[in-house]
Chains A and B, each alone.
Chain A
Amino acid sequence: MASQEILREEPSRGSFINDPRIRSLFFQTLVVILLFGSIWWIINNVIENLQRLHIASGFQFLKSRAGFDISDTPIAYTSDATYGRALIVGLLNTIIVAVAGIVIATIVGFIIGIGRLSQNWLIRKICTVYVEIFRNIPPLLVIFFWYSGVLAVLPPPRESIHLPFGSFLNQRGFYFPRAIWGDGSWLIGVALLLAIAMAWFVAHKARQRQRATGQQFPVFWTSVALIIGLPVLAFFLGGMPLTFDFPKQSTFNLTGGFWVKPEFLSLLLALSFYTAAFIAEIVRAGIRGVSKGQSEAAAALGLRSGPIMRLVVVPQAMRIVIPPLTSQYLNLTKNSSLAIAIGYPDLTATAGTVLNQTGQAVEGVFIMMIAYLVLSLVTSFVMNIVNARMALVER
């Protein structure tokens, strides 16, 4: 003990300049001084500039009248509404396009990614070509391609292209029948919920039975039958309370039906097809990351190829896939801000308009940054929960 104390109390032989603790303290003090100095300088400049340009500061402008129109409004909005409401409309539009894009990109990406590992030479090559094309061109270019190259040169409404199920495609966008639910349609909703509950119950019971007796029960087909069958039954019992509002062609335009504008359509298509190329690569890496021994061992245990994929390969591949998949979802959400280039009113576009009208650049950019950071955090949070469920459970 004594020798240790002596060692500890022995004064450093070098100069105090070489003491790492003093150095670290010195550098950090320097950084803090520099940081606060520049912040102080910037704030001073900002205040001075704002006064010179007669720009108000603070968030009061959120309550004043916006005075501009927004083309896509998921919630009620007129030009008499406030700036705050305009920003909320923009945020909702961003969320809508991001969620729809994530769903489509995931489906397309998984199909292409699995296709790249296919036994089939032709399918493998087609998927490779897709990935190599879309990975190497800017997303903005893809958006323009859909918007100015494909959708804008479609025929005018009078010569709309007829698609199945009474849908139309023309310069002004995509029209499809809108479902109108009549009286008694609540029964269908209730039936659907009931079916989902029953399917869950069946799955639970089947698992218990398999653990106890080893007998299997066709859970998947029972669930499909329940989830489709019960609502259909309710549909007929309720007297078929569903009618469709078909889009009708009039002289200059189409009326009725559900109308998807070309801005939304091109943004959605571009984002999903662009991101799908990256998701495909992630999926491929994930499946190849599961060693061949795993599937061979499963085959040796007597599992067939379906259960091998479902029970052995996919759960392990998902562990590799989910973290990069999350960052692709975040990228898609962030890339949705490219909407401003074609005039889809997402958060960046509306905040940009607000910023131009009020001149309150600091507050405008601040709101944008906070909104995207919150969206990113929420996405990461959800994906972290999924990841935790998938993670290796170690003893």
Chain B
Amino acid sequence: MQEHDMSWVRTEMALAQPAPPTEHGAYAWVRKNLIGSVGDAILTILGIAIVLWILPQVINWAFINAVWSGPDRTVCATVSQGGVQPDGWTGACWAFVNAKFGQLMFGTYPIEERWRPILVGILFVLLLVPMLIPRVPRKGLNAILLFVALPIVSFFLLVGGVFGLPHVETPRWGGLLVTLSLSFVGIAVSLPLGIMLALGRRSKMPIVKWLCVVFIETVRGIPLITVLFFASVMLPLFLPAGVTFDKYLRALIGVSLFAAAYMAEVVRGGLQAIPRGQYEGADSLGLGYWQKMGLIVLPQALKLVIPGIVNTFIGMLKDTSLVLIISMFDLLGVVKQNFADPNWATPQTPKSGLIFAAFVFWLLCFGMSRYSMYTERRLDTGYRR
């Protein structure tokens, strides 16, 4: 029995000391992130110089000196260019965007019929938003409405010619309407087509396999413009005399086939990442080919390649601007077309119009990429090694 035990065991932890002042707070952050070393300090000064050089110019141009509304070019031109602004003035001509806004959105769609694309837009947003929010129930019904019902309704609404709606030919479509409708239909067509091509490429039937390989590799090897040329110049030659295709439809075919080839490669990556055991497990359960793929393999494979799929969508949205080259007018095309308008020709007009278009494209693409990152995190069920 030891009454006087000299050993001592600490039963509670000592209170943590606050970190030294050089290691926390604003000063430490600055020291660590901005002036960690001599080289770092020089880089920081360089960075501040760049920001100070660019930012005031951009803010001045886009906001402070900008012209927001006006009847014609005089508000955006300097005195020597025949306008009202003082010489040496530079600023954004948002008045141009303002005046052309209807055209930028709908092209030359008849003004009294513009409620139709607006209605389609509202329906699209109403169906898309619940689709994007994971908590909203009835995803299956929603998907059918969005990808099957909406395209059919939109087709009749936009083209018209039935139910007393006047017919609007596709050459009159333009602006954001063309950009969004081309990319939406392109996305809806290219994903299933791409999945079929990817399955075909991994098929055990040699002829099917090689057909898919040749198609995918050829399309991936050539620029979209060549595909569009192909669709606009060669498709009419391929069809019997008298059968004509709408130019819009030709562009749609070109863009969808192009995106499908890229999509196929993305999906193939996912298919290859699924372990063999999954295929064998499905076989041993007695599932047929389509059951095996549809119930076991594709749900896992597609989940793996969501970032790639969204990247293809983003690429496709950006690529729709190329239809300008086969003289169709999407958002960028309408902006470009309006440079020639003598009513608005000033040195600032092209820059302002292009920056507006860039901003719209940027919003759409950036939104998609952020949403895909969110989905990726949400669906990450912990298989990642």
Contacts and interface: CB of A to CB of B under 8 A. Distances in A.
A335 interface: yes
Given A35-B211, A362-B237, A123 B354 contact: no
A136 B361 contact: yes
Interface string A115-153: 000111111001000001101111111001100111011
B181 interface: no
A141 B321 contact: yes
Interface stretch (B9-17, B124-132, B155-163, B218-226): B218-226
Interface string B217-255: 010011111100110011011111100000000000000
A365 B230 contact: yes
B64 interface: no
Contact of B205 (A28, A126, A148, A337): A28
A118 B347 CA distance: 39
B297 interface: no
B339 A138 contact: no
A395 interface: no
Nearest to B232: A361
Given A120-B47, A338-B225, A338-B322, A355 B233 contact: yes
A118 B50 CA distance: 16
B314 interface: yes
A373 B43 contact: no
B36 interface: yes
A373 B222 contact: yes
A31 interface: yes
Contacts of B332: 138, 140-141, 144
Contacts of B233: 355, 361, 364-365
A45 B366 contact: no
A42 B47 contact: no
Contact of A152 (B34, B47, B206, B350): B350
Contact of A153 (B43, B206, B336, B351): B351
Interface string B321-339: 1101100000010001001
A140 B238 CA distance: 30
B51 interface: yes
A106 interface: no
A364 to B, nearest CB: 8
A4 interface: no
Interface residues of A, number: 57
A46 interface: yes
B234 A365 contact: yes
Contact of A45 (B44, B239, B347): B239
A365 B237 CA distance: 12
B361 A138 contact: yes
Contacts of A31: 207-208, 211
A373 B221 contact: yes
A361 B234 CA distance: 6
A98 to B, nearest CB: 11
B238 A45 contact: yes
A122 B35 CA distance: 11
B48 interface: yes
Given A122-B44, A373-B218, A373-B222, A46 B351 contact: no
A361 B361 CA distance: 33
B318 interface: yes
B362 A122 contact: no
Interface in B33-50: 33-34, 36, 40, 43-44, 47-48, 50
Contacts of B350: 144, 148-149, 152-153
A250 interface: no
Contacts of B351: 145, 148-150, 153
A135 B350 CA distance: 21
Nearest to B348: A153
Nearest to B314: A136
A126 B324 contact: no
Given A27-B205, A126-B47, A348 B365 contact: no
Nearest to A48: B241
A141 B239 contact: no
B34 A120 contact: yes
A7 interface: no
Contacts of A137: 318, 358, 361-362, 365
B4 interface: no
B34 A337 contact: no
A368 interface: yes
A372 B208 contact: no
Contact of A144 (B211, B226, B319, B336): B336
Q: Which of B207, B222, B240, B241 has the most CB of A within 10 A?
A: B222
Contact of A365 (B224, B226, B358): B226
Contacts of B225: 337-338, 340, 348
Contact of A352 (B229, B241, B354): B229
A376 B221 contact: yes
B226 A139 contact: no
Nearest to B45: A122
B204 interface: yes
Nearest to A352: B229
Given A139-B318, A148-B354, A372-B226, A120 B339 contact: no
A50 interface: yes
A389 interface: no
Given A123-B47, A373-B218, A148 B339 contact: yes
Given A148-B354, A153-B350, A365-B233, A45 B240 contact: yes
A42 B234 CA distance: 11
Contacts of A24: 204-205
Nearest to B48: A122
Contacts of B361: 136-138, 141
B357 A141 contact: yes
A149 to B, nearest CB: 4
B223 A149 contact: no
B369 interface: yes
B234 A362 contact: yes
B365 A42 contact: no
Contact of B207 (A32, A141, A145, A364): A32
Interface of B: 32-34, 36, 40, 43-44, 47-48, 50-51, 204-208, 211, 218, 221-226, 229-230, 233-234, 236-241, 314, 318-319, 321-322, 324-325, 332, 336, 339, 347-348, 350-351, 354-355, 357-358, 361-362, 365-366, 369
11 contacts: A45-B237, A136-B369, A137-B358, A137-B361, A153-B350, A337-B223, A340-B225, A341-B325, A368-B229, A369-B222, A376-B221
Given A45-B240, A144-B332, A372-B226, 9 more contacts: A45-B237, A120-B47, A334-B222, A341-B325, A348-B229, A364-B233, A369-B221, A372-B223, A377-B221
In the A-B complex, the 10 residue pairs with the closest CB atoms: A136-B365, A121-B33, A148-B350, A149-B351, A334-B223, A122-B47, A138-B318, A337-B223, A153-B347, A361-B233
